[in-house]
Amino acid sequence: MQKTAEATFRAYGGQLRMSEAVRHGITPYTLYTLRDRGIVELVSRGVYRLADLPPLSDPDLVTVGLRYPDAVVCLVSALAYHGITTQIPHEVSVAVNQTSRLPSLDYPPVRAHRFSKASYSAGIETHRIDGAKVKIYNRDKTVADCFKFRNRIGMDIVLEALRLHRERNGLDLGVLLGYARACRVEKVMWPYLEASL
């Protein structure tokens, strides 16, 4: 049974939530046995990965992605992932739909934000980080979100993100304004976009 369970882990990228493991026929007893023998390790409550895998490159995003597959990494956390900020996030910022339960973890610290349906669903990209699927807003949507939350994160961070995004990726005004409309910040963003042309 141990070999079968290990093969199941490998077939799914080496990491599984307990509910996924049970759904694939791995009993909780088998899972705990694998953990006690050092074959799998506990990444976060209810999330296990094979111990012989290389160390996680971004354990915070992987943990959040595995524990809360519907949460989308946003704001400063997404800026950091895309390399358009000099800030080092001290928590993982995630967006959830207005009707969703807010995620909470002991570690890493998570700050959840409720987004409207239109704002939540726009601009989601799914990235594979260390074999785990993690939803992250694309660069343009992240910049629009930062304008929306400018009073919480600081206008200096927002303007730095806009500048770095323009320098490193170029700005597609049509795309950026589309996300600004979805976030209802088009009038706020327009003067800054005009100045950056």
For 97-107, the pLDDT digits (tens) are 988 877 777 78
Rounded to whole angstroms, how far apart are CA atoms 9 and 84?
34
Q: What pLDDT sits at residue 155? A: 96
Q: Is 89 exposed, middle or buried (0-12, 13-18, 19+ CB in 10 A)?
A: buried
Q: In this model, does residue 15 exceed pLDDT 90?
A: no
Rounded to whole angstroms, how far apart are CA atoms 1 and 134?
30
Mean pLDDT of 181-189: 93
Q: How far is CA 17 from CA 12, 44, 194, in A?
A: 11, 9, 46
Q: For the beta carbon of residue 129, count every other beta carbon within 10 angstroms.
A: 18
Listed in sequence order, the DSSP H helices in the chain are: 2-11, 18-23, 28-36, 59-67, 75-82, 117-121, 139-148, 150-153, 155-169, 173-182, 186-195
Q: For the beta carbon of residue 110, count every other beta carbon within 10 angstroms.
A: 21
Q: What pLDDT sits at residue 45? A: 79
| Positive or negative: CA dihedral 47, 58, 132, 96 | positive
Q: What is the pLDDT of residues 116-154, one digit of tens each?
A: 999 999 999 999 988 788 999 999 999 999 999 999 999
Contacts with 52 (C-beta within 8 Å, 6 or more apart), sequence order: none
Structure tokens at 72: 């989308």
Q: What pLDDT sits at residue 1? A: 62
Percent of all residues in the chain with a pLDDT value above 90, rounded to a whole number: 59
Q: What pLDDT sits at residue 197? A: 65
Task: Determine which helix (DSSP H) or strand (DSSP E) holds 126, and give its type and residue range.
Answer: strand 124-129
Structure tokens at 44: 């976060």
Rounded to whole angstroms, how far apart are CA atoms 178 and 102?
27
More confident residue, 139 or 47: 139
Q: pTM here?
A: 0.81
Q: What pLDDT sits at residue 81? A: 95
**Do the Cβ atoms of 146 and 157 come closer than 8 Å?**
yes
